[in-house]
Amino acid sequence: MSFGEYFHSVDVSFLHFANLSLAHPWNDVVFKLWTSEVPWFVMTAFFFGQTAYRRQWRAFTLLLWLGATIGVSDGVAAQLIKPWVGRLRPCRIEDLVRVVDGCAGSWGFPSNHAANGAAFAVFWLLWKGPRPGLIAVACAVTVGFSRIYLGVHYPSDVIGGFCFGGSLGALSYYLYTRTLARRWAA
């Protein structure tokens, strides 16, 4: 067995564990909620409202920068990387998984949910510090796991999304703090 075949068998084994062995109606509800955009929109609205209420305008610009970072993550993953890699989602392969909530587009690598969540979490960790940052990381990991549980991504799709999004979040925060924040402070 080649390394690629072994890696794929481990990927499918973990997918089956998450998608089939943990299957339960309550888990279906919980992970469908976590994979939806609702928690992220609620959190974003809270942060924008809190920032506006406190009149922390520098924080407001940083929140806008964070939003742009997530937009770049989403666009690059969906429009450039996915078509280039061309890996089918597991829910597109007949009888591979239990499809919980429908199957989105054809391509799965990398997971946009994982990439966007990691971009947010790493940026947030660097900006706000360990305690709020680790909460954001835990949320991103839960969203990533939900994608595997729902049968729409392989674990390696999620890991690839975490790597891409986390790197982009760190780079974006670095660019903001090293260039734009200094320019705006002058």
Q: Can you give the CATH number for the domain in which 13 is found?
A: 1.20.144
- Based on the residue annotation, tell me whether 8 is a catalytic residue of this protein: no
Region of 104 on the Ramachandran plot (φ > 0 left; ψ -120 to 50 alpha; else beta): beta
Provide the pLDDT for residue 185.
53
Q: 155: pLDDT confidence band, cut at 50, 70 and 90?
A: very high
pLDDT the model gives residue 28: 86
| 56/75: higher pLDDT | 75
Residue bearing the bigger pLDDT, 76 or 28: 76
Distance CA(130)–CA(95), nearest Å, equals: 42
Long-range (24+ apart) CB contacts under 8 A made by 94-98 are 96/12, 96/15, 96/151, 97/15, 97/16, 97/19, 97/20, 97/151, 98/19, 98/20, 98/23, 98/151
Q: Tell whether the model's pLDDT for residue 182 goes beyond 70.
A: no
Q: State the Cα–Cα distance between residues 110 and 156, nearest whole angstrom.
A: 8
| Residue-level length of the chain | 186
Instruction: Note whether 13 and 21 are within 8 A (CB).
Output: no
Q: pLDDT tens, 136-146?
A: 899 899 999 99
Confidence (pTM): 0.86
Q: How far apart are CA 159 and CA 61, in angstroms?
A: 30
SS3 111: coil
Catalytic entry in 8, 16, 24, 153: 153
Q: What domain range includes position 92?
A: 3-185
Position 60 pLDDT exceeds 80: no
Domains contained in the chain, number: 1
| pLDDT confidence tier of residue 186, bands split at 50, 70 and 90 | very low
Contact 63, 79 (CB under 8 A): no
- Kindly indicate the confidence band of residue 181, based on its pLDDT and cuts at 50, 70 and 90: low
Percent of the chain predicted with pLDDT > 70: 92
Tell me: pLDDT of 54 over 80.
Answer: no
The confidence score (pLDDT) of residue 82 equals 94
> Of 8, 16, 24, 113, which one is the catalytic site residue?
113
Q: Give the residue-averaged pLDDT of 13-42.
A: 85
